[in-house]
Amino acid sequence: MPHIVVEFAGLTPPETLWDALTAAVAAHPEVPESAVKLRAYQAQAFRMLSGEPGFVNVCLRLMETRPDSQHAELADAVMEVLQAQLPASIALGVDTVKIPRGSFRKRNGQR
């Protein structure tokens, strides 16, 4: 953990965005670099009734044992990257999700 899940539409994100996001999360002192994972999905259809030509939303999936302060710090770090890398006309959002330790599974039975 953490998992960085990016959903976007209405733009082609710069290739530098993926490395910048993973670096920002890995820079947190409580996050082992080898634990950071990123995946991104382009929405096939979208409507922004607010008028923006596109959006990028990042969901950080973190174990429930991480304190709320870490959720906020990591969300802030991700938002800083998005604001630096993407046009002001694009809608941006960041949220975090707590993964319940009791139901989390990894390959080879690890938890």
Phi then psi dihedrals of residue 47, to 5 deg: -140, 135
CA atoms within 13 A on the CB side of 7: 10
Coil vs helix vs strand at 47 = coil
Predicted confidence (pLDDT) per residue in 10-65, tens digit: 999 999 999 999 999 999 999 999 999 999 999 999 999 999 999 999 999 998 88
> Is residue 110 predicted with pLDDT exceeding 70?
no
Q: How far apart are the first and last CA of the chain?
A: 11
> Is residue 86 predicted with pLDDT exceeding 60?
yes
> Using an 8 Å Cβ cutoff, are 55 and 92 in contact?
yes
> Is the pLDDT higher at 75 or at 107?
75
Question: Which contiguous run of DSSP H or E holds residue 41?
Answer: strand 37-42
> Is residue 111 predicted with pLDDT exceeding 60?
no
As a dihedral over the C-alpha atoms of residue 17, residue 86, residue 28, residue 103, rounded to 10 degrees, the angle is -70
Give Cα separations from 7 to 63, 67, 69 (angstroms): 20, 25, 24
Position 53: which residue type? Answer: P
CA atoms within 13 A on the CB side of 21: 29
